Amino acid sequence: MKTYELTIDHELCWGCKTCEVACKQENRSADGIKLISVSEEEPQIVDGKLDFRYKVIVCRHCDDPPCAAVCPDEAIGKRDDGIVVMDYEICTGCRFCIDACPYDAIAFDEDERIARKCNLCHHRVDQGLIPACADNVCLAHCIHFADSNTDEN
Amino acid sequence: MAEFVFSNAAREMEVYGYDSVVKSHCRMCHGGCGVLIYTKNGKVAKIAGDPGCPINHGTLCSKGIASHQLAYHPDRLTYPVRRVGPKASGQWEHISWDEALDTIAERILDYKEKFGAESIVMGYGTGRENEAVIYRFANLLGTPNVLTAGHFCYGPRIATSIITCGSNPIVDYENHPKCIMVWGNNLVISNPDCSKGEPFSVSVNKGAKIIAVDPRLTRIAARADVWLQLRPGTDTALALGMLNVIVNEKLYDQEFVNKHVYGWDPFVERVNDYPPDKVEEITWVPRNKIREAARLFASTKPAAIQLGVAIEQQVNCADNNRALMALMGITGNIDVPGGQVLFSTPKIRNVGQFGAHRMLPHEQSLKRVGGDRFRLAGNFAIINPKCVWDAILKEEPYPVKMLFFISSNPVMTRANAKEVYRALEKVEFMAVSDFFLTATAELADIVLPAATWLEMDYIGDFWKRHGYILPRRKVIQVGECRSDHEMLNDLAHRVGQGEYWWDTFEGGLDYILEPMGITWQEFKKLDHIRGEVRYRKYEERGFSTPTKKFELYSTLLENWGYDPLPKFREAPESPVSTPELYKKYPYILITGARSPGFFHTENRQVPWLRELHRDPLVEIHPETAKKECINEGDWVEIESPRGKVRQRAKIFAGIDPRVISAQHAWWFPEKKDPGHGWDESNVNILTDNAYNTCDPAMGATSVRTLLCKIHPEAR
């Protein structure tokens, strides 16, 4: 049984935002709706050095997804392979999931009046393709898609 | 970690029902990355990196992916137009290519006859892989005046490296430097010339030590082993301070110095003028950090310096480059694996040969504007922009009557933008070739619709120094757009240059490739060609300089009347050089920090890219923001002795409280009036271009370091 996961090594991220545009190209989400985004953290002194990192904000496909638990319409479900999928046909736009997500990874589409989030390009994964953001676009090589049972090394 | 995992292109074709996938070569910046272009129903549907390309290994940047949004943008100019109202009235009529090119040809021939070919100035912006064809046209026409970014971008690297060691030393990431000194550069989000961000990332991930020299905390600086946060504009002093440590602690490569450098003794004397305590005073960098960085760089082999344009847009442009080359040279990192290599291009006609510089009559070359003032630039066919504005506005030293800008938006990108605008308003005739009606194009008489890289055949990267050439293959046709190469090939026939050109530009591509014995049709079936890779070539044949040595002491600069050794000059406007002005303008303003998605003035109308940055941002330290009553996101006014502009405040602790960092090249294509907001946030309203503020050898304008004040915008 495959269980997929998206791993991001934040130490390596340079903040180039290529993943954001790769996602746009694949999912064509509307202007202002980002299913993946890169944010800049505030510089802080760490071990006597000024430091900051970029943080990639995207659905983590949690083991026990709080967004699915609060959805009154059961529009969000975790598949057997680990991918948490939001069904836009079912979503009624109540926004409970947006509040429940601990990672700020769910957006609200003002035009369609529904929530949007990363579905890990399951339409690609099901066809043997890699999600757009992890398809070797990242010049830092910091985003990887893998079968967590077999691909770790 | 699993690297280089990517989807299978054949499966991608099958799943999405694409009609074709074409390998090509992106040029959303200066070129570089290999791409796969998927098409459906005759249109580009998806762009991905080419995993087989040695430049980017399948990775890409936001610009490359969004190229099809640029190509199919609804505002794109897709046919030639002629202005029918006053300048900047936005009144245009559609004309045919024949009419457009005949009109331009007629003006060219008329001005040439009446005022000399030098009265016609050709121009391009930053390198868009059309430079060789533009120089060819200008040289055959007989004008020595080609106005480019070359005075303060890349041109200085080429000119100073040729006079120092014969060619531009490129970081050899393929052999993984063990120490990389990243000097005023952020290649992971910018538009680097030769090596791209991906191979740099791999070298860093393999454990290369990083020394970052930057007034701002970039992520590279945050990850660095040593970050030198210098006072802006003091790079030469810092480099000379490091050289002082390396020389006095005998950390240099003695064999290389003994056998291969020229001018060691006077060089040592010069670096002895820059002991670390004095350099600390100049640069704000603590002496211990200068020593630490110098020792790390000199004792780690191989080591390399990743530099970029920031050091060139200063009064110390040439000497910044030369001081950094001295660091590469005396540490023995020149032309060694994992160091900095003088790569050989494949055996083709190179940009210099194709550019037909030898066809420019000598008496015409003597007329190059500013050639007697900026003699290093002049010897590399590069001019300082103000020389052109003066020739238009004051007719000094002679009148310039016509401008022909190809992929250039000088009202945004050249210093002292108000003067640029006045010159463009006054010039008698101006033609422009571009993708959109920019604020510059709105002042033109005729605007030609330029093709994007998706719409042309070309030999990608043939001007670069990394040794690769890669085919760029035409995939689509948009409207009546033509590549600059095809356009100039056609125009050349109309001004009597036909014998040096071809029926179509494919003939030009064949001409470039001819010495290798292949044609474009054969080349385009290949993935890439690389020149022969050999190291330490100087051991057999010396360096290609007058002394055959690595010239720490430049005999050519000396001949041209300049100091043959690098020295530090204070920025023309600074707390030190203009203390009275500093009381009124109490912050050092730096400009031009790069944002992913944009390439200078480009892409602000491309939705996926503009979404990355809605507004121009100015970075202000939290203490400074508090002092000036500025909150995050406020619109603020930034004012210099030349004028003021507005940008939005980003409170950022990664910058010195005495320094402000404003973004460059911001205009607002969404504003439909013909100005398109060119003067609202344009940092070049603030910059200066007076001759005495420019690099004396290269004519570089000092746009990176000036003085400003800043305050919240009145609500």
Taking an 8 Å cut-off on Cβ atoms, the answer to whether B189 and A25 are in contact is no
Answer yes or no: do A50 and B612 touch at CB < 8 A.
no
At B356, give phi and psi (nearest 5°): 60, 40
CA distance A144 to chain B (A): 7
Mean per-residue pLDDT for B242-269? 98
Decide if B138 contacts B500 (C-beta within 8 A): no
User: In this structure, what DSSP letter does residue B632 have?
Assistant: T
Size of chain B in residues? 715
Give the CA diameter of chain B.
69
pLDDT digits (tens, 9 = 90+) for B97-154: 999 999 999 999 999 999 999 999 999 998 789 999 999 999 999 999 999 999 999 9
Q: Are B510 and B489 contacting, i.e. CB atoms less than 8 angstroms apart?
A: no
Q: Residue B235 — φ and ψ, nearest 5°?
A: -60, -45
Same domain, B501 and B414: yes
Residue A148 domain flag:
no
| Confidence check: pLDDT of B1 > 50 | no
A31 falls within a domain: yes
CATH for A69 = 3.30.70.20
Exposure letters B456-472 (e unless 16+ CB within 10 A, then b): bbbbbbbbbbbbbbbbb
Q: Is B66 part of a structural domain of the chain?
A: no
Q: What is the pLDDT of residues B668-696, one digit of tens each?
A: 999 999 999 999 999 999 999 999 999 99
List chain A residues with CB under 8 Å of B199: none
Average pLDDT on B18-29 reads: 96
Residue B3 exposure: Cα atoms within 13 Å on the Cβ side: 13
Please check the confidence at residue B213 and state whether its pLDDT lies above 70: yes
Is B59 a domain residue? no
A150 in a structural domain: no
Strand B81-83 relative to strand B43-49, pairing? unpaired
Q: Which domain holds residue A54?
A: 4-143
Same domain, B354 and B489: yes
Instruction: State residue B2's pLDDT score.
Output: 43
**Does a structural domain hold residue B114?**
yes
Contact B252, B246 (CB under 8 A): yes
Query: What is the Cα–Cα distance from B280 to B143, expressed in whole angstroms?
Result: 47
The CA distances from residue B534 to A113, B193, B259, B563, in Å, are 61, 21, 19, 33
Answer yes or no: are the C-beta atoms of B196 and B170 closer than 8 Å.
no
Q: How many CB atoms lie within 10 A of CB B203?
A: 25
- Regarding whether B396 and B337 lie in a shared domain, the answer is no
Are A135 and B6 within 8 A, CB to CB? yes
d(CA B46, CA B44): 6
Residues B216, B327: one domain? yes
**Is the CB of A15 less than 8 angstroms away from the CB of B47?**
no
B2/A144 Cβ within 8 A: yes
Is B46 a domain residue? no
- How many CB contacts within 8 angstroms connect chain A with chain B? 143
* A22 touching B (Cβ < 8 Å): yes
B458 located within any domain? no
For residue B191, is pLDDT > 90?
Answer: no
Band (pLDDT 50/70/90 cuts) for residue A153 is very low
The answer to whether the CB of B228 falls within 8 A of the CB of B237 is no
Of the candidates B433, B388, B379, which has an alpha carbon nearest to the alpha carbon of residue B407? Answer: B433
B75 secondary structure, DSSP code = T
Phi then psi for B407, rounded to 5 degrees?
Answer: 50, 60
pLDDT at B715 over 70: no
Q: Which of A10, A11, A18, A54 to mutate to test the interface with B (most CBs of B within 10 A)?
A: A18
Query: B309-346, pLDDT tens digit by residue?
Result: 999 999 999 999 999 999 999 999 999 999 999 999 99
- Is pLDDT at A151 greater than 80 in this prediction? no
- Residues B204 and B264 reside in one and the same domain: yes
End position of a domain, from candidates B559, B593, B626: B559
Q: Is the peptide bond before B302 cis (omega within 30 degrees of 0)?
A: yes
Q: Establish if A151 belongs to a structural domain.
A: no
Q: In this structure, is residue A153 part of a structural domain? A: no
CB neighbours (10 Å) of residue A63? 9
ipTM attached to this prediction: 0.96
- The per-residue pLDDT for B548 is 98
H helix intervals, B337-453: 351-354, 362-365, 375-379, 385-393, 410-413, 417-426
Q: B447 with B332, same domain?
A: no
Whole-number Cα distances in Å, B469 to B177, B350, B531: 23, 11, 9
Specify the number of domains making up chain B: 3
Sorted by sequence, the CB contacts under 8 Å of residue B287 that are 6+ apart come out as B276, B277, B279, B280
Domain assignment present for residue B14? The answer is: no
For residue B639, list its beta bridge partners: B644, B709
Could you tell me the pLDDT band of residue B194, with boundaries at 50, 70 and 90?
A: confident
In degrees to the nearest 10, what's the CA dihedral of B144, B148, B153, B156? 0
In a domain, B49, yes or no: no
Q: What does the pLDDT average to over A93-117?
A: 97
Quick one: tokens of B479?
């409207």
Within 10 angstroms of residue B702's Cβ, the number of other Cβ atoms is 26
Do B415 and B703 contact (CB within 8 A), yes or no? yes
Interface contact flag, B196 A139, Cβ < 8 Å = yes
| Co-location of B397 and B507 in the same domain | yes
What's the pLDDT score for residue A1?
A: 64
Q: Is residue A110 part of a domain?
A: yes
How many domains in chain A? 1
The residue of A50, A137, A147, A151 whose CB has the most chain B CBs within 10 angstroms, and thus the best one to mutate to test that interface, is A137
Judge: B7–A130 Cβ closer than 8 Å, yes or no.
yes
Mutate to test the interface with A, among B29, B46, B62 (most CBs of A within 10 A): B62
Would the pLDDT of A152 be above 50? no
CA dist., res. B169 & res. B311, Å (int): 16
Report chain B's C-alpha Rg in angstroms: 25
Residue B252 lies in a domain: yes
B371, B503: one domain: yes
Is the CB of residue B119 less than 8 Å from the CB of residue B144? no
Do B552 and B492 belong together in one domain?
A: no
Say whether B219 and A13 touch across the interface (CB within 8 A).
yes
Q: Are residues B337 and B444 in the same domain?
A: no
Residue at A15 is within a domain: yes
Q: Pick from A21, A28, A44, A143 the residue to mutate for testing the B interface (most B CBs within 10 Å).
A: A21
Q: What is the CA radius of gyration of chain A?
A: 16
Q: The tokens of A107 are what?
A: 């957006």
Tell me which DSSP letter residue B663 carries. -
Selection from B441, B436, B259 nearest residue B332 by Cα:
B259
CATH code (residue B190): 3.40.228.10
- B235 and B146 both lie in a single domain: no
**Would the CB atoms of B217 and A43 count as touching at under 8 Å?**
yes
What is the least distance, in Å, from the CA of A25 to any CA of chain B?
A: 7
% of chain B exceeding 90 in pLDDT: 97
Which residues of B fall within a CB distance of 8 Å from A50? Answer: 217, 222, 227, 653-654
- Do B232 and B96 sit in the same domain of this protein? no
Q: Is A133 exposed, middle or buried (0-12, 13-18, 19+ CB in 10 A)?
A: buried
**Hey, what amino acid is at B474?**
K
Strand partners for B179 = B209, B303
Structural domain containing residue B324: 169-341+541-559
Query: A35: pLDDT confidence band, cut at 50, 70 and 90?
Result: very high
Mean confidence (pLDDT) of chain B: 97
Residue B3 has pLDDT above 80, yes or no: no
The per-residue pLDDT for range B481-510, each reduced to its tens digit, is 999 999 999 999 999 999 999 999 999 999
